Amino acid sequence: MSGVNLLDTEDIIESILFICRDVKVYKIPTRPSLAGWKAAEWGEQAFMWSGRLRIVESGGLAVLKLEDPNTGEPFANCPYPPPGSSVEPVLDSSRYFVLRIVDEQGRKASVGMGFDERGDAFDFNVALQDHLKRLTAPPSSSSSSSSSSSSKPTEPKRDFSLKEGQTFSISIPGGGKVKEKKKVEGGAGAGAGGGGGMFMLPPPPSGKRRE
């Protein structure tokens, strides 16, 4: 498999999601059971290739690239479309996985891949999960709501102030309506001596005169 370029993405802008400079690739038998594979059956030192792994994202598609760490020469590529069934964990270890690689003719093969450190395997899993979250995340509605609110026509301000000569009514509970008229300066109804238009109340009835 050495030197086989299974997916050419040289002319596409790429984002690097994950890099590990030391992974090992194993030749594995046909799937032993419906449950899956066990890395213990591969032989930890029986790997057929070791080198660098990069997860590259471009146009919504992630690709696992197995490369020579010094020259960048490709060994194999594993496309990772949703729901991500091309990468499968093994049953007996968190450091080993099965990759389903595909060549340009559509031919598929399964290989084992292992990390020396559990921390690298954990980061590998996180990078794949983050990629899937971005693919399934709903589009943001903030831009559409802001545009709709900005396009809504604004109503003109209305003037509720009384003009000269206009009247208004006030309803008093248990009584009728009191009609008031806007005071015109210098007009009728002003108090004696310019008392600001206050009403003069009649004097209270007088009592009996003291003799």
> Is residue 37 pLDDT above 80, yes or no?
yes
Helix extents (H) in the chain = 118-136, 142-151
Q: Tens digits of per-residue pLDDT, 98-147? A: 999 877 667 789 999 999 999 999 999 999 999 989 888 777 655 445 55
Positive/negative CA dihedral, 53, 101, 26, 122: positive
What percent of the chain clears pLDDT 90, i.e. is strictly above it? 41
CA distance 16 to 63: 10
Mean pLDDT of 1-8: 46
Domain boundaries, the chain: 15-137
Structure letter (DSSP) for residue 124:
H
* Nearest alpha carbon to residue 3 among 53, 103, 108, 75: 75
With cut-offs at 50, 70 and 90, classify the pLDDT of residue 38: very high
The mean-pLDDT minimum among 38-42, 97-101, 183-187, 199-203 falls in 183-187
Say how many C-beta atoms besides its own lie within 10 A of residue 26's C-beta. 20
Give the global pTM: 0.60
Q: What are the angstrom distances between the C-alpha of 70 and each of 20, 67, 74, 123, 133?
A: 13, 9, 11, 22, 32
Q: What is the pLDDT of residue 154?
A: 61
Whole-number average pLDDT of the chain? 76
Mean pLDDT of 73-99: 89
With respect to CATH, is domain 15-137 assigned 2.30.29.30? yes
User: What token pair was written down for 35?
Assistant: 């449950």
Contacts of 85 (CB under 8 A, 6+ apart): 100
